[in-house]
Amino acid sequence: MTYIPVGLEMYSVRKEFAANPYATMKAVKAMGYEGVEFAGPPAWGADFYAALLKETGLVCCGWHTPWESLQPEKIADTIRLNLTVGNKYVIVPGIKASTHADWLEKAIAMNGIADQLAVYGLRCGYHNHAQDFALLDGKTTWDTFMSNTSDRVVMQLDTGNALAGNANIMQTLNDYPGRCQTIHLKPYSRAKGYEPLIGEDDCPWKDIFAFCQTKGNTEWYIIEYECPAYPALEAVEKCLVATRKLLE
- Number of structural domains (the chain) is 1
CATH code of the domain covering residue 35: 3.20.20.150
Residue 229 located in a structural domain: yes
Residue 1 located in a structural domain: no
Phi-psi region of 214 (alpha: psi -120 to 50; beta: other; left: phi over 0): alpha
pLDDT in tens, 29-85: 999 999 999 999 999 999 999 999 999 999 999 999 999 999 999 999 999 999 999
DSSP state of 79: H
Residue 110 located in a structural domain: yes
| DSSP labels, 21-70 | HHHHHHHHHHHT--EEEEESS-SS-HHHHHHHHHHHT-EEEEEE--GGGG
Residue 62 located in a structural domain: yes
**pTM attached to this predicted model:** 0.97
Rounded to whole angstroms, the Cα distance separating 187 from 117 reads 31
Query: What's the chain's average pLDDT?
Result: 97
pLDDT band of residue 2 (cuts 50, 70, 90) is: confident
pLDDT in tens, 139-172: 999 999 999 999 999 999 999 999 999 999 999 9
Q: Which residues contact 231 (CB under 8 A, 6 or more apart)?
A: none
Mean predicted confidence (pLDDT) in 100-113: 98
pLDDT of residue 31: 98
pLDDT in tens, 187-201: 999 999 999 999 999
Query: Is the confidence at residue 17, as pLDDT, over 90?
Result: yes
Beta strand ranges found along 34-169 (DSSP E): 35-39, 59-64, 89-92, 123-127, 135-136, 139-140, 153-156
* b (16+ CB within 10 A) / e for 41-53: ebeeeeeebbebb
Residue 220 located in a structural domain: yes
pLDDT band of residue 1 (cuts 50, 70, 90) is: confident
Exposed, middle or buried, 248 (CB in 10 Å: 0-12/13-18/19+)?
Answer: exposed
Residue 16 located in a structural domain: yes
Of the candidates 109, 118, 127, the one whose C-alpha atom is nearest the C-alpha of residue 62 is 127
Domain ranges, residue 19: 6-247
